[in-house]
């Protein structure tokens, strides 16, 4: 692949204002080409781009196109920065009036140097908010697509779409369906702005000659007009890749705009989170319908603040995953100590979940056309969840990945895939959905929805009036995945009893949703008992239930645990001190986690 840096523009506005500045603050910049003006990080703007593309393993050659007026400046820059002087191309223009136009400059290099390879094109006078993105990831994404590649970013609130080339991108295929060069207000709702940062296949390069023959005026030979023609008229396949950072082309900007964006981007770099990013994810209980979430059923689940997993991320020189001293032991008192701990707890601490999540996160972003910055971090976790499961939004916050980039329904699928595809853990989608949405959530996993859109229908429910719920669990619980695996095999084989049970679970869930909305707690308790009996088999009279002990019970989805609804506070106390203490269980009254009551809290 060949890289071409374009710096042939004639920045008359900025240059004139620097020359006429009365403050004297910019007199040393008089006559300096735009690409050689100071950028972020104490570097010239062009220095950053040269450092980014000066990689022999990625590019066989790098060319720089400039004009006759500034040629000597770039020739001296090339000598001082180990850039091959023979690769500095002069387009012969001396003024804005006799310029060739950006597309013609690119075509000049291709034709004059006989280039017959894929090309990356970058504007060398473009400010970048983050100077650490991975250009190799951009090239890999380009190679995976059957067309050209265009880089875009999401406009900041202060930026107007009428001053940029705007793209409309299909979220599934990443194909750019429409390109609008500086559209008037209201013409598009998109806030995705294209920048002069493209990958063009060698087969497409001849299209430039076709376009130039149609456009004799240099003002129409801009890349914006070229992409409008290629995408909207020629229907050429062009794909988009998002960089979670900002760009500013300073071609025809004023001195005040240049200093404003330089200050803005420099402050962003200075304010990068040296302080840790901490996110907390709360445990959940299945109130109704489970385990039908894995069988196209319906469920209701609730997040609780009694138990949580917390992940802390801080930027570092290398990427480090810190083992938890209790859950990922690496030091033991003796061989017998190792034997006893391993026999009881196995080898499945939270560290493998962190590593698998990081791997799948990078894989997801690469596939979705999101280029990540080359930043490293140290990641550690803490938890009080029995047989802990760790989840986090820290990676999204660290890499500026928005909810639009990774929507909640897709995020739940992503978390599930970490377990099922990477770690081969038997798990259902219900837990991941409630971890992402938090609160009390109704979920419909019907086959039609899952096959049509890849996820279910998720509805947050009002939880402000919930009655007292309790949880009891064994201190050494079993693995619910092993229990459910037998059900899955029976369901896949079409066993009628299991198939009908899953349909009944869904019906109970719809009835429970109505009871929750109506505040009909006796009815909810009755439905919880029915859910329990359907999964575990009918109980004997001495086992109790809503009618005997005053507390309904059901399995919440974790092995060795039950969740209950008690409408009699006196009996709730007796349950704690008699039944479950005698049975050797840990007993607690649940504290529902209501995200709508947490103000500015950001869920993990």
Q: Would residue 602 count as lying in a domain?
A: no
Is the pLDDT confidence value at 577 over 70? no
What per-residue string of b and e applies to 493-529 under the rule 16 or more CB within 10 Å gives b?
A: eeeeebeebbebbbebbbbbbebbeeeebeebbbbbb
What percentage of the chain reaches a pLDDT higher than 70? 88
Is the pLDDT confidence value at 485 over 60? no
What is the model's pLDDT at position 388? 39
Q: Would residue 598 count as lying in a domain?
A: no
Compute the average pLDDT of residues 406-429: 89
What is the model's pLDDT at position 268? 58
Compute the average pLDDT of residues 560-575: 79
236 and 284 within one domain: no
Q: Would residue 449 count as lying in a domain?
A: yes
Strands 2-6, 119-123: pairing is parallel
Is the pLDDT confidence value at 49 over 70? yes
- Angstrom distance (rounded) from CA 118 to CA 194: 20
What is the model's pLDDT at position 599? 45
Q: Which of 103-107, 269-273, 340-344 has the lowest mean pLDDT?
A: 269-273
Banded model confidence at residue 600, pLDDT cuts 50, 70, 90: very low
Q: Would residue 600 count as lying in a domain?
A: no
Is the pLDDT confidence value at 12 over 80? no
Is the pLDDT confidence value at 191 over 60? yes
Q: Which of 236-245, 287-296, 561-570 has the lowest mean pLDDT?
A: 561-570
pTM for the full predicted model: 0.80
Compute the average pLDDT of residues 523-545: 76
Banded model confidence at residue 487, pLDDT cuts 50, 70, 90: confident
Residue at a domain's end among 242, 269, 296: 269
289 and 214 within one domain: no
| Residues 501 and 534 sit within 8 Å (Cβ to Cβ) | yes
Banded model confidence at residue 550, pLDDT cuts 50, 70, 90: low
322 and 262 within one domain: no
265 and 282 within one domain: no
Cα 20 to Cα 29, 36, 78: the distances in Å are 11, 19, 29
**Which helix H or strand E contains 123, and what residues bound it?**
strand 119-123
Q: Would residue 405 count as lying in a domain?
A: yes
251 and 198 within one domain: yes
Compute the average pLDDT of residues 271-289: 83
253 and 288 within one domain: no
Whether the link from the prior residue into 562 is cis, omega within 30° of 0, is no
| Residues 140 and 381 sit within 8 Å (Cβ to Cβ) | no
Q: Which of 150-159, 166-175, 578-587 has the lowest mean pLDDT?
A: 578-587
Cα torsion 463, 467, 468, 473: sign? negative
Q: What CATH number should be reported for the domain holding residue 89?
A: 3.90.550.10
199 and 343 within one domain: no
Kindly report the three-state secondary structure assignment for every residue of 521-541.
HHHHHHHHHHHHHHHHCCCCH
- Angstrom distance (rounded) from CA 123 to CA 127: 9
Compute the average pLDDT of residues 63-73: 95
Compute the average pLDDT of residues 279-290: 90
What is the model's pLDDT at position 77? 96
Is the pLDDT confidence value at 554 over 50? yes
pLDDT digit string (tens) for 302-311?
999 999 999 9
What is the model's pLDDT at position 56? 87
Give the max Cα distance, the chain. 97
Compute the average pLDDT of residues 117-143: 87
Q: Which of 208-217, 245-254, 329-338 has the lowest mean pLDDT?
A: 245-254
343 and 205 within one domain: no
Q: Would residue 597 count as lying in a domain?
A: no
pLDDT digit string (tens) for 198-214?
999 999 999 999 999 99
Compute the average pLDDT of residues 498-513: 93
Helix, strand, or coil (residue 202): coil
Is the pLDDT confidence value at 142 over 80? yes
Most confident of 12-26, 198-212, 290-304: 198-212
DSSP 155: P
Banded model confidence at residue 251, pLDDT cuts 50, 70, 90: low
Is the pLDDT confidence value at 290 over 90? no
Q: Which of 224-233, 330-339, 542-551 has the lowest mean pLDDT?
A: 542-551
Q: Would residue 596 count as lying in a domain?
A: no
What is the model's pLDDT at position 510? 96
What is the model's pLDDT at position 546? 42
Residue at a domain's end among 229, 245, 269: 269
Query: Catalytic residue numbers?
Result: 431
Q: What CATH number should be reported for the domain holding residue 528?
A: 3.30.230.120
DSSP string, 80-108: HTT--GGGEEE----SSTT---HHHHHHH
Number of domains making up the chain: 2
Q: E strands along 317-345, which residues?
A: 320-321
Is the pLDDT confidence value at 359 over 90? yes
304 and 416 within one domain: yes
402 and 320 within one domain: yes
294 and 263 within one domain: no
Q: Which of 251-265, 416-430, 476-490 has the lowest mean pLDDT?
A: 476-490
| Residues 159 and 192 sit within 8 Å (Cβ to Cβ) | no
| Residues 399 and 374 sit within 8 Å (Cβ to Cβ) | no
Q: Would residue 599 count as lying in a domain?
A: no
DSSP 363: H
282 and 215 within one domain: no
Residue at a domain's end among 239, 269, 299: 269
Domain that holds residue 408: 278-589
**Which helix H or strand E contains 122, and what residues bound it?**
strand 119-123
What is the model's pLDDT at position 387? 45
What is the model's pLDDT at position 539? 55
More confident residue, 555 or 438: 438
Compute the average pLDDT of residues 476-481: 53
């Amino acid at each position: 692949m060949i890289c071409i840096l374009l710096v042939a523009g004639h920045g008359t506005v900025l240059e004139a204002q620097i020359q006429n500045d009365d403050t004297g603050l910019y007199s040393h910049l008089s006559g300096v080409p735009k690409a050689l003006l100071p950028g972020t990080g104490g570097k010239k703007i062009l220095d950053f781009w040269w450092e980014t593309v000066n990689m022999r393993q990625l590019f066989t050659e790098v060319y720089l196109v400039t004009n006759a007026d500034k040629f000597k400046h770039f020739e001296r820059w090339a000598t001082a920065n180990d850039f091959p002087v023979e690769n500095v191309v002069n387009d012969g223009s001396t003024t804005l009036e006799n310029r060739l136009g950006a597309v013609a400059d690119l075509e000049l290099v291709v034709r004059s140097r006989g280039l017959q390879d894929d090309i990356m094109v970058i504007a060398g006078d473009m400010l970048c908010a983050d100077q650490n993105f991975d250009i190799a990831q951009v090239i890999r994404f380009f190679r995976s697509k059957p067309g050209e590649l265009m880089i875009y970013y999401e406009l900041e609130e202060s930026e107007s779409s009428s001053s940029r080339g705007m793209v409309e991108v299909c979220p599934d295929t990443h194909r750019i369906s429409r390109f609008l060069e500086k559209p008037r207000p209201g013409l598009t709702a998109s806030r995705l702005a294209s920048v002069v940062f493209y990958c063009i296949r060698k087969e497409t390069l001849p299209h430039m000659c076709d376009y130039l023959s149609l456009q004799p005026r240099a003002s129409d030979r801009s890349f914006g007009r070229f992409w409008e023609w290629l995408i909207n008229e020629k229907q050429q396949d062009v794909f988009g890749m998002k960089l979670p950072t900002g760009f500013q082309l300073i071609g025809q900007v004023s001195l005040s705009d240049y200093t404003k964006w330089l200050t803005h981007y420099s402050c962003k770099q200075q304010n990068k989170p040296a302080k840790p990013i901490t996110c907390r994810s709360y445990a959940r209980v299945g109130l109704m319908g489970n385990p039908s979430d894995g069988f196209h059923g319906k469920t209701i689940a609730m997040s609780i603040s009694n138990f949580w997993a917390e992940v802390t991320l801080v930027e570092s020189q290398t990427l480090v995953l810190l083992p938890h001293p209790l859950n990922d032991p690496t030091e033991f008192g003796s061989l017998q100590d190792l034997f006893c701990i391993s026999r009881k707890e196995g080898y499945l601490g939270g560290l493998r979940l962190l590593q698998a999540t990081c791997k799948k996160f990078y894989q997801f972003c690469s596939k979705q056309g999101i280029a990540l910055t080359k930043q490293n971090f140290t990641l550690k976790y803490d938890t009080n969840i029995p047989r802990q499961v760790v989840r986090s939004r820290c990676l999204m916050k660290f890499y500026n990945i928005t909810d639009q980039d990774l929507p909640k329904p897709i995020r739940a699928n992503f978390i599930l895939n970490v377990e099922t595809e990477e770690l081969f853990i038997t798990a259902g989608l219900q837990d991941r959905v409630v971890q992402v949405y938090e609160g009390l959530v109704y979920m419909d996993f019907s086959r039609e929805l899952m096959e049509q859109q890849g996820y279910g229908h998720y509805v947050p429910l009002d939880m402000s009036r919930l009655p007292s719920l309790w949880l009891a669990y064994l201190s050494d619980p079993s693995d619910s995945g092993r229990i459910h695996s037998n059900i899955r095999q029976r369901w896949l084989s079409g066993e009628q009893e299991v198939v009908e049970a899953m349909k009944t679970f869904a019906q109970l869930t719809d009835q429970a949703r109505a009871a929750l909305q109506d505040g009909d707690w006796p009815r909810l308790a009755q439905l919880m008992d029915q859910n329990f009996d359907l999964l575990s088999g009918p109980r004997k009279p001495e086992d109790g239930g809503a009618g005997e002990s005053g507390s309904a019970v059901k399995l919440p989805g974790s092995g060795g645990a039950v969740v209950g609804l008690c409408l009699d506070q006196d009996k709730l106390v007796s349950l704690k001190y008699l039944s479950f203490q005698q049975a050797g269980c840990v007993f607690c009254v649940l504290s529902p986690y209501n995200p709508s009551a947490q103000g500015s809290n950001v869920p993990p």
